[in-house]
Structure 1
Amino acid sequence: MDTPGTKITPVILSGGAGTRLWPMSRTMRPKQLLSLTDDRSMLQLTAARTSDAAHFSPPLVVANAAHADEIERQLVNIGAPADALILEPTGRNTAPAIALAALAVPPETILLVMPSDHVIADVAAFHRAVTTALPLVEQGWMATFGIAPDAPETGYGYIREGAEIAPGAHKVDRFVEKPDLATAQSYLADGRYVWNGGIFMFRAGAYLAALRRFAPDIASATGAAMAAADRDGARIHPDKIAFTASPADSIDYAVMEKADQVAVVPVEMGWSDVGSWDALHAITGPDDAGNCHQGEVIALDTNNCLIRSDGPLVAAVGVSDLIVVATGDAVLVLPRGASQDVRRIVDELKRLRHSTLDQVR
């Protein structure tokens, strides 16, 4: 990676609950803190992508206060402690969360904003995309990274590429909501649409200026929250009353869809948001029978299944196309292809106020 004279500050967003991967992902131990695709957790993998001290400063992590101890432990264990751990008193979506990080550094700081729970298989390609975006960011552009689509995916938002403004970078023509299947197929055929992967890069001051222009209530509330923040070593606790007054909105809606100088860098880097058990099955190398399994599992005459256990032995005989996930206190069984229905289970558990949403046993 070539970023002469410039250091980039990673911002890792770790506030999500990851309930689509219940029962392994819980409120108190969400998916970014789990080891799902590697011996390291997803948070650790994210931090490791920007651990080269020649090009990156130590990360800023924006997180739920309940996870602070575990986040610190995991980052120290891989030799990548956070420069600051900004602990949200409540969730307000990505636009306010990123504002907290932007307010914690000098305005000229270049921020690389990354979700903590995504998979990037080709890290070198990711670094090349960051290098492509850097000169534009230094000129005041805000950049996002568009994932080259390989299927008509209906679960992602899309970005339509406009005119090329630099080698490998385009002006964003528009952001597009999650499409239906026919529309997604037309996007794939068109060739100018990429998935919105939720990774961004800009100067802190450029983001805050755009926020003041397009979402002044968020800018005001987050500014007040950081001005009155408590600090305990690397931990920053924004003022709860001020932060709670902020509207909840994503960076896409609040800023990126409205700003003028927004660039997209298309990249093929083996990306997945691991947003479901089906997605995990797709990126995990199956055996000869198409099965992916982890933990104590016996599978006989079983095909194309994802079977994982953090607790009891799971034995499967003569079944196909199932997702089976077992923990110490819950078992999930559903057909492959239907893992988005985990949301229905989570909604029912919320209605019942069931302990398996929160605690891990």
Structure 2
Amino acid sequence: MPVAGSLRKEALVPIVPVILSGGSGTRLWPMSRDERPKQLLALTAPETMLQLTARRAGADSGFAAPVVVGNAAHAAQIEEQLEAVGAAASALILEPVGRNTAPAIALAALAAGGGADPLLVMPSDHVIADVPAFHAAIAAALSLVEAGWLATFGIAPDAPETGYGWIQVGEALAPGVHRVARFVEKPPRDKAEAMLAAGDHCWNGGIFLFRADRYLEELRTHAPAMLDAAERAMASARRDGVRIWPDAEAFAASPSDSIDYAVMERADRVAVAPVAMGWSDVGSWDALHAISRCDSAGNACAGDVVAIDTANCLVRAGEGKRVALVGVQDLIVVADGDDILVLPRGRSQEVKKIVEALRKR
């Protein structure tokens, strides 16, 4: 199977990466904060998650310069990080207010010209360990996308995960690509176990491939108020170089909805390319521990850490901090700035409760 880059060399228009970088990453507090969220941190490699996302759809693989949708407060950091890895954005759309993924992608599709260009929509804070497998899945889906299908990438499941949406894989449309039989929202444990055992479901990883015009057509059919708000916001946008500030009043009028609800679950021609590519959304400290390199005692440590008679812990010491542990196991310990987080492994999804409590204070 050719990779996406080699396939696109025969085409007039390369795939345009659309990188969604508006998230706050509160579940990785205290390192991830409003002023420097998860995607702008180097959590899994020397490069940040945003940089890794841009690299996996870079010019050396035949992709166009990315369109990035982000927060105005992070504009300088986004530009600096992308330029550092040779992936400067062709457009940096700075959302005046968060309206979820469907309107954000509408802004990107309009910024890309709204034509037949294929868009590869990617969250900025995911891990993909096997990039060649990802490129192969893109190549497999591309011909259908060019014919007007909307495609998503189904992650090969290895656990009855209740925190993800699932996709039931339907009839084959092309080698490695199937029609979506149905989308399943985050299921209870028993249903997740049944879907895993059936073998015909995959996780919804939130990565999409479709033509810009086809996405906008589906919005016009299923969410016309959303498209109208995005079009008016872009028509009245302020521009400075690659930075685009959509009109705040116009965009605020958009309904807030995810691409899954607004488009993918309603459209007729939706395909899925199942792929095992070492994917993780790094949605918690537990998830980070699961994909980290650990020492012989199962500890994943970063920064100035001393661990004695300690096992199966995730420990991160921020700049200027030292963390020492003796005789403990199965803990998550994170020290950053003036904040220290300590909790048992397995409960890291509850970090968002801490963030909510701190905001109320």
Alignment TM-score, normalising by the size of structure 1: 0.96
CA separation of 1:54/1:295 partners in 2, compared to 1, >3 Å: closer, same or farther?
A: closer
Matched, 1:46 2:53: yes
1:357: which partner in 2? Answer: none
- Within 5 Å, give how 1:308-319 maps onto structure 2: 308-310=316-318, 311-319=320-328
What is the deviation of 1:53? 4.2
Q: Secondary structure at the match of 1:75?
A: helix
Name the aligned partner's letter for residue 353 of structure 2. Answer: R
What is the deviation of 1:181? 1.3
Question: Aligned to 2:153, which of 104, 128, 145?
Answer: 145
Matched, 1:15 2:22: yes
1:356: which partner in 2? Answer: none
CA distance in 1 between partners of 2:232 and 2:180 (Å): 32
CA distance in 1 between partners of 2:296 and 2:78 (Å): 36
Q: Secondary structure at the match of 1:68?
A: helix
Which is further off, 54-63 or 287-296?
A: 54-63
- Within 5 Å, give how 1:302-341 maps onto structure 2: 302-310=310-318, 311-341=320-350
Name the aligned partner's letter for residue 204 of structure 1. Answer: A
Q: Secondary structure at the match of 1:236?
A: strand
Question: Aligned to 1:89, which of 92, 96, 107?
Answer: 96
2:352: which partner in 1? Answer: 343
Q: Secondary structure at the match of 2:272?
A: strand
Matched, 1:231 2:239: yes
CA distance in 2 between partners of 1:222 and 1:79 (Å): 29
Name the aligned partner's letter for residue 116 of structure 2. Answer: E
- Within 5 Å, give how 1:262-341 maps onto structure 2: 262-310=270-318, 311-341=320-350
Question: Aligned to 1:25, which of 15, 19, 32?
Answer: 32
Question: Aligned to 1:214, which of 203, 222, 225?
Answer: 222
What is the deviation of 1:132? 0.5
1:65: which partner in 2? Answer: 72
What is the deviation of 1:54? 5.4
Name the aligned partner's letter for residue 249 of structure 1. Answer: D
CA contact (8 A) 2:99 2:256 kept: yes
Deviations 1:194-213 (A, max 9, x none): 00000000000000000010
CA distance in 1 between partners of 2:15 and 2:86 (Å): 18
Q: Secondary structure at the match of 2:159?
A: coil
- Between Structure 1 and Structure 2, how many residues are aligned? 352
CA contact (8 A) 2:59 2:65 kept: no
Q: Secondary structure at the match of 2:119?
A: strand
Which is further off, 133-142 or 103-112?
A: 103-112
Name the aligned partner's letter for residue 256 of structure 2. Answer: A
CA distance in 2 between partners of 1:233 and 1:33 (Å): 22
1:105: which partner in 2? Answer: 112
Name the aligned partner's letter for residue 345 of structure 1. Answer: I
What is the deviation of 1:261? 0.3
What is the deviation of 1:11? 0.2
CA distance in 2 between partners of 1:86 and 1:109 (Å): 18
CA contact (8 A) 1:152 1:181 kept: yes
CA contact (8 A) 1:129 1:267 kept: yes
What is the deviation of 1:131? 0.2
Which is further off, 100-109 or 312-321?
A: 100-109
What is the deviation of 1:315? 0.4
Q: Secondary structure at the match of 1:149?
A: coil
Matched, 1:158 2:170: no
Which is further off, 9-18 or 48-57?
A: 48-57
Q: Secondary structure at the match of 2:59?
A: coil
CA contact (8 A) 1:15 1:64 kept: yes
1:355: which partner in 2? Answer: none
CA contact (8 A) 1:11 1:113 kept: yes
Q: Secondary structure at the match of 1:87?
A: strand
CA contact (8 A) 2:29 2:351 kept: yes
What is the deviation of 1:52? 2.9
Name the aligned partner's letter for residue 158 of structure 2. Answer: D
Give the share of equivalent positions with the same residue, in percent. Answer: 64
Deviations 1:250-308 (A, max 9, x none): 00000000000000000000000000000000000111000000000000000000000
Question: Aligned to 1:191, which of 175, 199, 211?
Answer: 199
What is the deviation of 1:141? 0.1
CA contact (8 A) 1:7 1:54 kept: no
CA distance in 1 between partners of 2:281 and 2:356 (Å): 21
The unaligned stretches of length 5 or more in structure 2 are none
